[in-house]
Amino acid sequence: MTAASLRLVNATDCDIAFSFGLDLTRYDRRLSLTGPEVAALTALGTDGLRRSRARGATRDEASWSALARLVGPLDDAAATLHHHDCGLARQAAADAAALVLGRCASVDRSWWSWTPADWRELLGGNAMLFRAAVPWPASTMVRPFVIALAYLLGEFDDFHTIGTFDRLYLARLVFGPPLVDDTLAEVAALLGSWGYRGHDGAGRPLPGAFSQFLLLNRSPLMKDLNTEAFVRLREHPSLLSTHYRRVLFGLQRAAAASGHCDPPVRFGSYHMENLDGVDPAWAGWVERWHATSTLTPRVRSITRCIMAKAGRWLAAEHPDITEPGQWTRATCAAWVAAVDRMKVGDYDSPEPACMSSP
């Protein structure tokens, strides 16, 4: 199945162009288990639910028929995943479905009723805890497949609660490597042209963070990173750390440069002055410089404040000068003299545009 052919009808608030290969509205989404379903889950047991012929499992047609309402969506979701067609991957997908079915039996409810806490209980706080709870020796591929099922069927995205895992692998698994890799390459090219590198200041790779942004937006497409999407992303609890917010700022710069959203507003411990009292033409020059400068965010913000002060000084003392090209040597001398005599608060904005953490 190609990513372009995928379609999802899902309960999300995101108006996005990309879609998966599931129509969740066509399934029987009753919250409780029926009597025959409980009996079938009990009859199959742990080994039977794995559907592993290599371990001698036989097909219990009556039990599997009773579980069709539950098995169908799991198999359909697994069929949309993008992975190598090998025995290990197929068994990991079967094991993931078996774990979901097993938890349905233990809580006596279908996963349609599960809360994020229910999915977290199944996924464990980290990979080690997950594998320790699995009642058979599970490969390292099983947990990503369970996360993918939780993401597709349960809209689970509380990634900050389940420890470290490979976000890039999960994004490729649910979206397909070509779409994810193309978007990451486009972002990397844009940011690289502005002086960004492949790692943040602490040496951490960025593809994992960018992959998480795509997962939370439920689309690998740049065109789906609109202004509303970035508003939602900034409010998501998985992205509250300073690291993620800094990387998200860079991603929005790239999306804005591609014409998909508004440019980001730098949130920091330093002030970003409003341009009140500045001639619109001068304000346009200031904003254009700030959006394209390759200086560090802090230096750009400080310089922007100085340029705003200069704009208010011009409006008060030289209203005929509204563009940098109109400055003369006399204008420069007058500005230096004005700066030398300035007191705290002179030519400041009444209040900063933003004052909060990145």
Each residue's pLDDT tens digit, 17-53: 788 878 899 999 999 999 999 999 999 988 889 876 4
**266: pLDDT confidence band, cut at 50, 70 and 90?**
low
Give the model's pLDDT for residue 13: 45
Please indicate, yes or no, if residue 54 is contained in any of the structural domains. yes
Domain boundary residue, one of 112, 132, 165: 165
Convert the pLDDT of each residue in 47-58 to its tens digit: 889 876 444 445
Please indicate, yes or no, if residue 262 is contained in any of the structural domains. no
- Residues 215, 116 within the same domain: no
On the question of pLDDT at 9 being above 70, the answer is no
Please indicate, yes or no, if residue 89 is contained in any of the structural domains. yes
On the question of pLDDT at 345 being above 80, the answer is no
Please indicate, yes or no, if residue 286 is contained in any of the structural domains. yes
Averaged over 84-97, what is the pLDDT? 89
Which structural domain, as residue segments, surrounds residue 340?
272-354
Averaged over 78-94, what is the pLDDT? 90
The answer to whether 195 touches 215, Cβ cutoff 8 Å, is no
- Residues 246, 339 within the same domain: no
**CA triple 201-207-213, angle to 5 deg:** 100
Answer with the residue of higher pLDDT: 46 or 181: 181
The answer to whether 189 touches 215, Cβ cutoff 8 Å, is no
Averaged over 326-332, what is the pLDDT? 93
Q: How many domains does the chain have?
A: 3
On the question of pLDDT at 298 being above 70, the answer is yes
Please indicate, yes or no, if residue 9 is contained in any of the structural domains. no
Residue 9, beta-bridge partner list? 23
The span from the first CA to the last CA of the chain, in angstroms, equals 40
Tokens 């993620």, residue located: 244
Instruction: Give the least confident one: 9-23, 180-194, 243-257.
Output: 9-23
Domain boundary residue, one of 229, 257, 285: 257
Answer with the residue of higher pLDDT: 77 or 204: 77
- Residues 316, 279 within the same domain: yes
- For the chain, what percent of residues have pLDDT higher than 70? 85
3-class DSSP state of 205: strand
d(CA 66, CA 80): 24
Averaged over 139-158, what is the pLDDT? 95
DSSP 116-144: HHHHHHHH-SSHHHHHHHSSS---TTHHH
Domain boundary residue, one of 198, 223, 257: 257
Measure Cα distances from 230 to 14, 181, 188, 237, 321 in Å: 11, 20, 18, 13, 37
- Residues 182, 155 within the same domain: no
**278: pLDDT confidence band, cut at 50, 70 and 90?**
confident
DSSP 232-266: HHHHSGGG-SHHHHHHHHHHHHHHHHTTSSPPPPP
- Residues 221, 200 within the same domain: yes
- Residues 147, 187 within the same domain: no
Measure Cα distances from 131 to 61, 95, 149, 152, 271 in Å: 29, 12, 17, 21, 48
The answer to whether 291 touches 250, Cβ cutoff 8 Å, is no
DSSP letter (8 states) at residue 32:
B
Give the model's pLDDT for residue 284: 87
pTM, to two decimals: 0.71
Tokens 């409006």, residue located: 315
- Residues 121, 201 within the same domain: no
Convert the pLDDT of each residue in 192-224 to its tens digit: 888 776 654 444 457 889 999 999 999 999 999
- Residues 347, 304 within the same domain: yes
- Residues 106, 192 within the same domain: no
Please indicate, yes or no, if residue 148 is contained in any of the structural domains. yes
**343: pLDDT confidence band, cut at 50, 70 and 90?**
confident
Please indicate, yes or no, if residue 16 is contained in any of the structural domains. no
- Residues 236, 331 within the same domain: no
Please indicate, yes or no, if residue 18 is contained in any of the structural domains. no
On the question of pLDDT at 68 being above 90, the answer is yes
**290: pLDDT confidence band, cut at 50, 70 and 90?**
confident
- Residues 41, 79 within the same domain: yes
Averaged over 78-93, what is the pLDDT? 90
- Residues 210, 331 within the same domain: no
Residue 272, beta-bridge partner list? 354
CA 247 to chain centre: 11
d(CA 270, CA 302): 8
> 267: left (phi > 0), else alpha (psi -120 to 50), else beta?
beta
How many Cβ atoms from other residues are within 10 Å of residue 254's Cβ? 23
Give the model's pLDDT for residue 336: 93
Residue 205, beta-bridge partner list? 199
